[in-house]
Each structure stands twice: as C-alpha cells, then as structure tokens.
Structure 1
Amino acid sequence: MKSFLFILSLLFTSILNAQTKVLPAEIQIKTATLAAPEELRDGAMVYGFNEQGEMIVLREGTNHLVCLADDPAQNGINVSCYSNKLEPFMARGRELAAQGTGEMEKRETRKREAEAGSLSLTDSPAMTTILTGSEENYNAATGELTDGHFRYVIYIPYATAESTGLPEKPFAPGMPWIMDPGTHRAHIMITPPKN
C-alpha cells in the first residue's frame, strides 16, 4: 500500500510539473504579444516567467506597450497588453501579489497609496487588452492561439457614470460600461460577445 501511495504521489507531482512547465522565452513573448495590435508587437516590453515561476522582464520595449505572458500555474491562456502609463499601478500590483497579498488587500493598499500620492495613476485614459482562450486551442510549440476572446479595459481613475455617460452595468451584449466608478481603479469595460 505504501509503495502504491508513493507511486501515486510521484505521478501527481509529475502531472503538476507538466501543467506548470515554463515555456521558452520566445514562445512566451509571441503568445503575450497576441494581445497587441500586430504593428506594435515587435516593440512591446514583455514580462514572462523564469523556471522558478518568478515574473521577469523577457524583453525590453521600444514603444508604449507592456505585455504580460501567460502564467503557467493558471488554467487556460490569459495574456494582456497595456499602455506603459499604467506601469506604476500594474507593477505595484505584481509586487503585492508576489508578497502573497490577497486581491482585496491589494486593492486597498493601492487605494491608500494612490490617495496618498505615493502611487502614480494615469492622468488620461489608458487601455489594457486581454486575450483569453482554452489550452485545447493553444499550440505551445508555436505560441499560437485559435478561438481566443478579447476583452478591453480602459482605465480612467475616479471617473463616474455621470462624468462619462456610461452605465454602471451593461444592458446589451458587448456594450461599454464603467466598473468601480469614482475610485482609483475606475475603468471602462468592453467585452465583445463570443461568436
């Protein structure tokens, strides 16, 4: 029985290791930049993961975009690109997450820091493009994703429904709406319907 449990634990460990295999940097970069307009992909800064699962810079950028590679420890494919105007806000979020801070505590910390002026927020609308998909539609050898789904987030700190004319929830498929209005993380959400 003990040997069976040992073999079972080895099998489970190998399955976990296979699921969290870190892809080569060039594949991570290719996949991450799928969330960017094609003409901006080659110049985007890209964060990805090293063999220890730590987020690192895979490529310095030459334009205004920052892209994040898919996290191999999470299910599915999820990559994003955003305006470098959001980098202080995003970098602080990554730093807090690396410290083990939970999502709600991370939000509260950034709120306090933004209100105190120690965390810079964008002074004009800044967009994030998110591309998600299933692992079944992802080719890890080429970095290509088929049947991915885009979502767009336009950060506009402290904006409200009144200041933008947007509703606080969508009432039609794919329409823009404002989430977290009046806060440091106020943003316009646009989620096109899936085909």
Structure 2
Amino acid sequence: MKKIITPILLAAALVACNNTTNNKTETSEKPKTETEATPEEAKESFQEINSDEALIATALMAAPAESREGCTVIGYNMAGEFVTLKEGSNEFICLADDPKKEGFSAACYHKSLEPFMARGRELKIEGKNHNEIFDIREEEVKSGKLKMGDPGSTLHIYYGAKAMYNTETNLVDGAQYRYVVYIPWATSESTGLPESPVEPNHPWIMNPGTHRAHIMITPLKGEDK
C-alpha cells in the first residue's frame, strides 16, 4: 500500500510546485498600464511653434528655471512685428525665436547687454553683414558710444533644428544649450583659457582681445538638464 501512495504523493507535490512557479512568473511580470505613452504618442506631443503664446513659452526656456516667471520677452510676433511679447520684472531679457527662420533659436541675456544687442539688431536691419556689425560695434565700444554691459554678463542660448515644442513642458524637440560670458578685451593670456575647446564641452575664449571677447561653453547634449 505504501508503494502505491508514495508515487501519488510525489506527483501531487510536483504539480503544486509547478503551480507555484507559474504564479511567481505571472506576478513578476510588469503590469501594463493605460497611461504609458507609446513612441508615436510621445511624438504627437510636439506641436509647431505657431502662436505668440508658444513663442513666449519657448523663449523662456532659454532662461534659468528659477527666473523665467520674471523675464521680459521680446522678438518678432507671428505678424512679423518686433515687439515686447511679455513685460518682465527681473534682470533677464529673452529673445524669442524668429518664426520666419528655419529651425529654432531663442536667447536670454542680462539686461545690461541690451544696448549692445539692440545695436546689433539695428545694424542688421540696415543690411550690414556679420563682419561690418563686428567692426562698427568694436569702434563704438572703444569710443564709449556703446556700452557692452556689466563685466561677466551672460547670454544663454537655446537652439535646435526643429521648431516643435512640447505643450506641457515647453521643451523644444532636440534643442540644447550654449552659454556665452562676455569679458571685453580679455585674452588667453589674461584668463588662462584656451582659444579653442580642449573637449567639445570645455570652456574656451572666443574673439580674444576685442570688445566681444567671451567665454564659450557648450554642454554635451543632455548634461545641462
């Protein structure tokens, strides 16, 4: 009798063991939720920057996060007029993306740089090219006619190839940051900075010895978040 019962008990134990293993496998699987976005849905969250509100929202992304609420925003509106899109209360001015140009480029800078920036926009409207604008502002800064801004004034640039943004986060599709710190007349010798980056994300000095001498910093994509 024992010889008959023992195999039966062994078979029952094996069945129970198998059921336990199956239950563990099933419960260890990640539950599917209806809220998970598919790659297609993620792409659909990006929309064209096609309103003044969108221009303001994306321009503010160029500013430090803690300062965005108080920034002034200027630039071309959707009607093609250069206007103040948003009045501000702090030390930052944001320049919105130009909707007539390919890609995306917004900037944010210290308000003491506005005379220098405004002069550049004025000369560009007059039809002056990059080299002419550089030479004219160089002479005007040397003569004292044009102010370069406070030493160390910083320009934050937020740019990318696509003028598409996430309506929930205001992040621009594929955009990244670059930083410019103005130090007029500085040189490699006076700062110890190289005149070209040692690595893609390392600081270096551009336009050394001129009114537009500045430290260039371009973080690797993703490192500035």
TM-score, normalized by length of structure 1? Answer: 0.82
How many Å apart are 1:113 and its aligned residue?
Answer: 0.8
Assess if the C-alpha contact under 8 Å between 1:70 and 1:79 holds in 2. Answer: yes
Mapped partners of 1:51, 1:25: distance in 2: 6
Q: CA deviation at 1:163?
A: 1.2
Q: Supply the distance in 1 between the matched residues of 2:81 and 2:125 (Cα, whole angstroms).
A: 8
Instruction: Give distance in 1, aligned partners of 2:53 and 2:165.
Output: 15
SS at match of 2:74: strand
Name the CA distance, whole Å, in 1 between partners of 2:73 and 2:66. 15
> Counterpart of 2:151 in structure 1: which amino acid?
S
Identity of aligned residues (%): 49
Partner of 1:24: 51
1:27–1:141 CA contact under 8 A, matched in 2: no
* 1:101 counterpart = 2:101: no
After TM superposition, the structure 1 = structure 2 runs for residues 39-58 of structure 1, keeping only pairs within 5 Å, are 39-58=66-85
Unaligned runs of 5+ in 2: 1-47
What count of residue pairs does the alignment treat as equivalent? 175
Q: Which residue of 2 aligns with 1:129?
A: 156
CA contact 2:71–2:88 (8 Å) conserved in 1: yes
Question: How far does residue 139 in structure 1 lie from its aligned partner after superposition?
Answer: 4.5
Q: 5+ residue gaps in structure 1?
A: 1-20
Q: Deviations over 1:22-55 (max 9, x none)?
A: 8332211111010111111111111121344232
Task: State the alpha-carbon separation in 1 of the partners of residues 99 and 170 from structure 2.
Answer: 13
Residue 138 of structure 2 is aligned to residue 111 of structure 1: yes
Q: TM-score, normalised by structure 2?
A: 0.72
> Corresponding residue for 2:182?
155
How far residue 115 of structure 1 moved from its aligned partner, in angstroms, is: 1.1
Partner of 2:173: 146
- Verify the 8 A CA contact 2:109 2:156 in the aligned structure 1: yes
Say which one has the larger Rg: 2
Instruction: Find out whether 1:182 has 2:209 as its counterpart.
Output: yes
Q: CA deviation at 1:86?
A: 0.8
- Which deviates the most, 45-54 or 125-134? 45-54
Structural RMSD (CA)? 2.1
